[in-house]
Amino acid sequence: MIKALYPGSFDPITNGHIDIIQRASTLCDEVLVTVLPNISKSPLFSLEERVEMISTVTKNIENVSVTTYSGLLVNFANEQNAHVIIKGLRAVSDFEYEFQMALMNRKLNTNVETIFLMTQSKNSFLSSSLVKEVARLNGCITGLVPGPVEEALIKKFHK
Protein backbone atom coordinates (compact mmCIF):
# COMPACT_ATOMS: atom_id res chain seq x y z
CA MET A 1 0.00 0.00 0.00
CA ILE A 2 1.59 3.28 -1.11
CA LYS A 3 0.33 6.31 0.74
CA ALA A 4 1.78 9.58 -0.55
CA LEU A 5 1.68 13.16 0.64
CA TYR A 6 1.52 15.88 -2.00
CA PRO A 7 2.58 18.98 -0.05
CA GLY A 8 2.55 22.60 -1.09
CA SER A 9 1.20 26.03 -0.37
CA PHE A 10 -1.34 25.82 -3.25
CA ASP A 11 -2.10 29.55 -3.14
CA PRO A 12 -4.14 28.81 -5.22
CA ILE A 13 -4.15 25.36 -6.83
CA THR A 14 -3.46 25.53 -10.60
CA ASN A 15 -4.08 23.13 -13.48
CA GLY A 16 -0.41 22.17 -13.17
CA HIS A 17 -0.98 20.94 -9.59
CA ILE A 18 -4.11 19.09 -10.69
CA ASP A 19 -2.19 17.27 -13.40
CA ILE A 20 0.36 16.12 -10.80
CA ILE A 21 -2.43 15.01 -8.43
CA GLN A 22 -4.15 13.03 -11.18
CA ARG A 23 -0.93 11.30 -12.20
CA ALA A 24 0.08 10.60 -8.59
CA SER A 25 -3.34 9.08 -7.95
CA THR A 26 -2.67 6.46 -10.63
CA LEU A 27 0.74 5.59 -9.15
CA CYS A 28 -0.20 5.52 -5.45
CA ASP A 29 -3.02 3.88 -3.51
CA GLU A 30 -3.75 7.03 -1.58
CA VAL A 31 -2.72 10.67 -2.11
CA LEU A 32 -3.12 13.16 0.69
CA VAL A 33 -2.81 16.72 -0.63
CA THR A 34 -1.31 18.59 2.31
CA VAL A 35 -1.60 22.37 2.48
CA LEU A 36 1.21 23.83 4.56
CA PRO A 37 2.32 27.35 5.32
CA ASN A 38 5.49 28.34 3.46
CA ILE A 39 7.33 30.70 5.81
CA SER A 40 8.78 32.68 2.91
CA LYS A 41 5.42 33.47 1.28
CA SER A 42 2.47 35.67 2.31
CA PRO A 43 -0.64 33.85 1.14
CA LEU A 44 -3.60 35.42 -0.62
CA PHE A 45 -6.03 32.69 0.45
CA SER A 46 -6.47 31.35 3.98
CA LEU A 47 -5.59 27.70 4.64
CA GLU A 48 -9.32 26.94 4.90
CA GLU A 49 -10.06 28.61 1.55
CA ARG A 50 -7.25 26.66 -0.11
CA VAL A 51 -8.43 23.34 1.34
CA GLU A 52 -11.97 24.04 0.21
CA MET A 53 -10.88 24.90 -3.34
CA ILE A 54 -8.68 21.79 -3.61
CA SER A 55 -11.43 19.57 -2.20
CA THR A 56 -13.90 20.94 -4.74
CA VAL A 57 -11.67 20.47 -7.76
CA THR A 58 -10.40 16.99 -6.79
CA LYS A 59 -13.69 15.55 -5.53
CA ASN A 60 -13.96 13.19 -8.50
CA ILE A 61 -10.62 11.52 -7.83
CA GLU A 62 -11.47 8.68 -5.47
CA ASN A 63 -8.15 8.10 -3.73
CA VAL A 64 -7.31 11.78 -3.14
CA SER A 65 -8.06 13.68 0.05
CA VAL A 66 -7.02 17.09 1.38
CA THR A 67 -5.77 18.32 4.72
CA THR A 68 -3.57 20.94 6.37
CA TYR A 69 -0.60 20.73 8.69
CA SER A 70 1.42 23.41 10.42
CA GLY A 71 4.54 21.55 11.53
CA LEU A 72 7.38 19.73 9.81
CA LEU A 73 6.23 17.81 6.76
CA VAL A 74 8.27 14.72 7.69
CA ASN A 75 6.58 14.56 11.11
CA PHE A 76 3.23 14.60 9.36
CA ALA A 77 4.45 11.79 7.09
CA ASN A 78 5.22 9.75 10.23
CA GLU A 79 1.83 10.51 11.76
CA GLN A 80 0.12 9.45 8.55
CA ASN A 81 2.33 6.41 7.99
CA ALA A 82 3.17 7.83 4.53
CA HIS A 83 6.55 6.94 3.06
CA VAL A 84 6.33 8.95 -0.14
CA ILE A 85 6.33 12.69 -0.80
CA ILE A 86 5.25 13.68 -4.32
CA LYS A 87 6.59 16.91 -5.80
CA GLY A 88 6.10 18.39 -9.24
CA LEU A 89 9.13 19.65 -11.13
CA ARG A 90 8.80 22.28 -13.83
CA ALA A 91 12.14 23.62 -14.95
CA VAL A 92 15.77 23.74 -13.95
CA SER A 93 14.85 26.74 -11.80
CA ASP A 94 12.72 24.49 -9.55
CA PHE A 95 15.41 21.88 -9.22
CA GLU A 96 17.78 23.50 -6.73
CA TYR A 97 15.03 24.41 -4.27
CA GLU A 98 13.28 21.05 -4.56
CA PHE A 99 16.54 19.11 -4.35
CA GLN A 100 17.47 20.95 -1.15
CA MET A 101 14.09 20.24 0.42
CA ALA A 102 14.17 16.58 -0.61
CA LEU A 103 17.62 16.12 0.95
CA MET A 104 16.64 17.95 4.14
CA ASN A 105 13.47 15.89 4.45
CA ARG A 106 15.46 12.68 4.01
CA LYS A 107 18.00 13.83 6.60
CA LEU A 108 15.13 14.46 9.04
CA ASN A 109 13.32 11.23 8.26
CA THR A 110 15.06 8.42 6.41
CA ASN A 111 11.76 6.55 6.01
CA VAL A 112 10.43 9.08 3.54
CA GLU A 113 11.32 9.17 -0.15
CA THR A 114 10.59 12.16 -2.39
CA ILE A 115 9.38 11.27 -5.87
CA PHE A 116 9.38 13.96 -8.56
CA LEU A 117 6.87 14.02 -11.39
CA MET A 118 7.84 16.17 -14.36
CA THR A 119 5.30 18.74 -15.42
CA GLN A 120 3.61 18.44 -18.78
CA SER A 121 5.21 20.95 -21.14
CA LYS A 122 1.90 22.80 -21.51
CA ASN A 123 2.06 23.62 -17.77
CA SER A 124 5.75 24.33 -17.53
CA PHE A 125 5.28 28.12 -17.35
CA LEU A 126 2.44 27.94 -14.86
CA SER A 127 2.80 29.06 -11.25
CA SER A 128 0.39 30.22 -8.55
CA SER A 129 2.33 33.50 -8.25
CA LEU A 130 2.05 34.33 -11.95
CA VAL A 131 -1.63 33.39 -12.03
CA LYS A 132 -2.26 35.75 -9.08
CA GLU A 133 -0.37 38.57 -10.78
CA VAL A 134 -2.27 38.15 -14.05
CA ALA A 135 -5.62 37.93 -12.21
CA ARG A 136 -4.82 40.99 -10.09
CA LEU A 137 -4.08 43.00 -13.25
CA ASN A 138 -7.29 41.83 -14.94
CA GLY A 139 -5.61 39.44 -17.40
CA CYS A 140 -7.24 36.24 -18.63
CA ILE A 141 -6.51 33.17 -16.46
CA THR A 142 -8.99 30.84 -18.15
CA GLY A 143 -7.43 27.43 -18.73
CA LEU A 144 -4.71 28.05 -16.14
CA VAL A 145 -6.79 27.26 -13.07
CA PRO A 146 -10.05 25.36 -12.57
CA GLY A 147 -13.31 27.36 -12.87
CA PRO A 148 -14.00 27.66 -9.10
CA VAL A 149 -10.46 28.96 -8.53
CA GLU A 150 -10.82 31.49 -11.35
CA GLU A 151 -14.03 32.73 -9.71
CA ALA A 152 -12.36 32.92 -6.29
CA LEU A 153 -9.46 34.95 -7.73
CA ILE A 154 -11.78 37.40 -9.49
CA LYS A 155 -13.80 37.77 -6.29
CA LYS A 156 -10.65 38.38 -4.22
CA PHE A 157 -9.23 41.03 -6.51
CA HIS A 158 -12.17 42.69 -8.20
CA LYS A 159 -15.32 42.42 -6.08
Q: Is 83 a catalytic residue?
A: no
Q: Does 101 bind ligand PNS (CB under 6 A)?
A: yes
Strands (E), 3-151: 3-8, 30-35, 64-68, 84-89, 113-118
Site size with ligand PNS, rule: CB under 6 A: 11
Amino acid at 139: G
Q: Which one of 47, 72, 89, 117 is in contact with ligand PNS (CB under 6 A)?
A: 72
Q: Near ligand PNS by CB under 6 A, which window of 7-15, 22-30, 42-50, 137-145?
A: 7-15
Nearest to ligand PNS of 71, 138 (CB atom) = 71
How many Cβ atoms sit within 10 Å of the Cβ of residue 129?
10
Contact set with ligand PNS (CB under 6 A): 7-9, 36, 38, 41, 72-73, 101, 104-105
